[in-house]
Amino acid sequence: MTGGGAQSQQPTAVSHGGRSDGATFDLQIHHTRRLPDFLQSVNLKHVKLGYHYLISHLLTLCLIPIMTIIILEASQMNPNDVVQLWLHLQYNLVSVIIISAFLVFGSTVYIMTRPKPVYLVDYSCYRAPDSLKAPYERFMKHSRLTGDFDESSLEFQRKILERSGLGDETYVPEAMHSLPPRPSMQAAREEAEEVMFGALDNLFANTKIKGKDIGILVVNCSLFNPTPSLSAMIVNKYKLRGNIRTFNLGGMGCSAGVIAIDLAKDMLQVHRNTYAVVVSTENITQNWYFGNKKSMLIPNCLFRVGGSAILLSNKTGDKRRSKYKLVHVVRTHKGADDKAFRCVYQEQDNAGKTGVSLSKDLMAIAGGALKTNITTLGPIVLPISEQLLFFATLVLKKLFKKNVKPYIPDFKLAFDHFCIHAGGRAVIDELEKNLQLLPVHVEASRMTLHRFGNTSSSSIWYELAYIEAKGRMKRGNRVWQIAFGSGFKCNSAVWEALRNVKSARNCPWEDCIDRYPVKILS
């Protein structure tokens, strides 16, 4: 899930001192020749903006003259016309009563059957202590001292780390800092407790929520599933009530965070007036690979310690204090295809050592899953102007057999912020290119990968925390969280900000946000 990005080019300041007049003249001619192209692009941009504005407000623009005519006609009515209208209504009293009854009945059915709004009250991301940081040099030195890797594997890991986009402040669990490493069950439990309880303690402190108020608990962790379960560990720690609905999701990969949100949303439609807590994490201790198969070494270089805890509510009274409202969840599963099913696969190598293997076809499969996902998501989030353009190109291609390039919808018109799963540099690069995003749209993803690494299903929450810490989240803004996971799955969650959202207390970016964004070397 790694890959090199394009070399970033910074504008270079050129001094014209000492140049001849001829050189200066040539430079001016060069810019003059490019001026029409610039003007054309500006004109096309304004035409497209005008088109989107016209289509988006078409109904309003049509209603204005209709309302104007009605008002003018009403103003010209004399008292006799008003009396005649009233008498007409009296003679048709039965019809009026029946129509009114139908309206009342229909409104009641609609109100009773419509989905209950789901609010995100607050969330918290775990930040490990500085003692668990794994700088590049320490990581490579430690890998060499373990004696488990040959020179070829060490060189491979070095190259992956150099191109990964990870910085020197990511974290690995305590067990991996030991020499020799101690990937025991006890150490894995300690990592899980440290991450989950750390995120939950901060969430409960910020929201003042009590354990007895939580009716639903969903925990997702792909590779570590002890008995009793992780959800049972949380119930035991916080003494949650006996009738709580608990769920433990395993083996669902980095997209399981969105799946957990979707499950909690469905449960909140059934169980009224309650809270749901979603805990998303991954466990590294027992899943570090100590072999020499290249495709299994990549996760060692990318995955790092992290986790998140999210508090959801279906209480109407919580809207005022909540940060976001859940708008849509769209899930795509490509597991029916054998190649997609095996592209992220836990197995043993020839030496009997267990690890997660990443296929070379991963990016192509992820692209196909993304295409299917946005085909479903697009019609429910994109403005009608974009849908018309997409439909027009489709008709031209299908009916008239025209060699028309497929129209890529502009998702920047539907969303203000993008939280792309920080699975690796190549994932972010590919989505930036395919969705035609600007660098600012993928900034949160790149900086999360740099600061915290791939924290699996919780990475999209570190990215949301980055946007908030930068002060960019405004009331009414829409956020697209998109994640990929084994199986192969592509899942999307859409949130709408209910207010100008500020960074929460003990935000993971609290003491370092001023240093970001940083330049990522290619």
The residues that are catalytic are 254, 333, 417, 421, 450, 454
- Measured in degrees and rounded to the nearest 5, phi and psi for residue 163 equal -100, -5
What is the C-alpha separation between 306 and 282, in angstroms, rounded? 7
* Closest by CA position to 422, among listed 367, 462, 363: 462
SS3 content of the chain, % helix, strand, coil (to 5): 50, 15, 35
What is the C-alpha separation between 207 and 14, in angstroms, rounded? 54
* Closest by CA position to 456, among listed 266, 295, 279, 315: 279
What is the C-alpha separation between 382 and 395, in angstroms, rounded? 19
Using DSSP's 3-state secondary structure scheme, residue 337 falls into coil
| N residues, the chain | 522
What radius of gyration, in Å, describes the C-alpha atoms of the chain?
28
What is the C-alpha separation between 322 and 131, in angstroms, rounded? 34
Mark out the alpha helices in 320-424 (DSSP H runs). 338-341, 362-381, 384-399
Give the burial class of 322: count Cβ atoms within 10 A of its Cβ; 0-12 exposed, 13-18 middle, 19 or more buried.
Answer: buried
Sheet of 478-485: strands edge to edge? 245-249, 214-220, 275-281, 307-313, 119-125, 324-333, 489-497, 478-485, 417-420
Number of C-beta neighbours around residue 372 at 10 A: 15
Please say whether the beta carbons of 126 and 308 come within 8 A: yes
